[in-house]
Amino acid sequence: MTRWIALVGLGLTAVARGQMFTDDERTGVVAYWNEPGRYRAGAPPDSVKAGPFGVRLTVDGSKWLWDYNRARGLSKGPPTETPGAQNPRETVWEGWIEAKVAYDRFVAAEGADRANAALGKPSKLASGPRPAHPGPVPADLVTLVGNPPAFASVEAPVWHTVTFDDGLEIAYADNVSMRPRYAYYRFDTGVMSGGESVRNLPEPDLKALCAEAGLTESEFRIFKAVSLLEGGFDSVNTYDTGFVSVGLLQFASLSEGGGSLASVLRNQKIVHPDSFFTDWRRFGLDVTVDGKLVAVDPATGVEAIGPEANRLIIRDKRLIAVFQRNGRISRPFRLAQLRVAKAQYYPADDQVAVYTGTEIWTGKIRDIVRSEAGMATLMDRKVNTGKVDPLPAVLAKVVEDKKLKAFGDLAEYEAEVVAALRYRKDYTKDPALTQPGKSR
């Protein structure tokens, strides 16, 4: 605590002029990151054999696909799925888009093969006959979304290696390979690492960590089930619409450079202040009182806040490596992730309103969803979309169909409710979780 009090005192002058870091601190950050061997960039290790060039989805193409889905009212589905046609006209559009994507990727593969061959590498990315050109884009598709860009390009990913003073080394490749029709790709300089999956952590250690963070045994099982879809405490992603996404449930900074990720840092800063300097400030990272990320540019010492901090963290891999390092070795950061996950995403105490046609019933989700599989289903939705929709509509339909008389009566039909709300995974098939209508 003494270190934190001293840190606050040193920072008063900086805060007075609108900065989180003092001049001496920013000088120290720049000096640290520019020590010999701290950071290096080069070709990915797997490029030695086949060559550095490959085929990648374009950012413009991904944005166009998102606009296309939104214009059709299909932007709310799981990001792992590609929405199909809903009517005959969309069938025509889908056929053209699929042909365009296949053609663009083949042409890019040919270009990558030529670029690798020029370096003496035996690249064979383009195989089979060249797909037919898709022809002119349907006019009504242009009216709906605009002129489609190229969906694929030739890229040479860069391998970024960051080495900390304790010897920990973290490496990433940018230009991450995406599904051909992934609609959420936004930063070609972004990186990703799944980290160490929760399922691989020793069960006793994970249970102890969750208990320290205030989770019950039941909540522990639900968290473990849902987090398997997202990664580990040390997972990171800076290529998509979350901007900077980190940790157990991919806490995201979003476009404003704050979001749930800043909430995690604020939680650690408040609950574990002694660890905050060691984990964050000495590397040039902090969080404002109102929940915005702060980052010091390792190259220049310039301080960035919010959206500018987002851009800096995405661009400079030394900074995102700090997040992964702390997820891997910092217990306070892991505890903060768990506390914020429960506060922001665990839906048991969320109020839900049900319109019955003549009145509105209100109550807590825990009063009608009592199984772990059901709670995991709702948490999965809330983690990915920020909401438990369409829960109110599903409940209203059950009330009407079953002629229910009170909010609590909905608990009897939990199985039907959970089935209607299934999102990315069917938790009713997870034997580790209690099920609707059943107890452990």
Per-residue pLDDT of 213-226, as tens digits, reads 999 999 999 988 88
Which of 228, 296, 235 lies closest to 261, judged by CA?
A: 235
User: Could you tell me if 214 and 317 lie in one domain?
Assistant: yes
User: Could you tell me if 92 and 137 lie in one domain?
Assistant: yes
Residue in the structure block whose two tokens are 């709300």: 421
User: Could you tell me if 234 and 106 lie in one domain?
Assistant: no
**Domain, as residue range, for 148:** 47-155
User: Could you tell me if 107 and 71 lie in one domain?
Assistant: yes
Q: Residue 8: what pLDDT? A: 46
Q: In this predicted model, what pLDDT tens digit does every residue of 283-324 receive, in sequence order?
A: 999 999 999 999 999 999 999 999 999 999 999 999 999 999
User: Could you tell me if 382 and 336 lie in one domain?
Assistant: no
Categorize the per-residue pLDDT at 16 as very low, low, confident or very high, splitting at 50, 70 and 90: very low
The mean pLDDT value of the chain amounts to 92
The Cα–Cα gap between 249 and 246 comes to 7
Per DSSP, the chain holds a count of helices (H) and strands (E) of 16, 14
Q: In this predicted model, what pLDDT tens digit does every residue of 404-425 receive, in sequence order?
A: 999 999 999 999 999 999 988 9
The answer to whether residue 435 is domain-embedded is: no
Strands (E), 176-288: 192-193, 236-237, 245-246, 251-252, 285-287
User: Could you tell me if 82 and 151 lie in one domain?
Assistant: yes
User: Could you tell me if 322 and 387 lie in one domain?
Assistant: no
User: Could you tell me if 80 and 30 lie in one domain?
Assistant: no
The answer to whether residue 284 is domain-embedded is: yes
Mean pLDDT score, 37-48: 94
What's the distance, CA 255 to chain centroid? 13
User: Could you tell me if 386 and 317 lie in one domain?
Assistant: no
Residue where one domain finishes, among candidates 322, 344, 366: 344
The answer to whether residue 339 is domain-embedded is: yes
DSSP code per residue over 13-55: HHHHTT-SS-HHHHHHHHHHHTSTTSEEEE--TTHHHH-S-EE
pTM above 0.85, yes or no: yes
The answer to whether residue 118 is domain-embedded is: yes
The answer to whether residue 439 is domain-embedded is: no
Q: Residue 229: what pLDDT? A: 56
Mean pLDDT score, 24-48: 96
Categorize the per-residue pLDDT at 210 as very low, low, confident or very high, splitting at 50, 70 and 90: very high
Look at the chain and report how many structural domains it folds into. Answer: 3
The answer to whether residue 438 is domain-embedded is: no
Which of 284, 218, 228, 215 lies closest to 28, judged by CA?
A: 284
Q: Residue 401: what pLDDT? A: 93
User: Could you tell me if 224 and 314 lie in one domain?
Assistant: yes
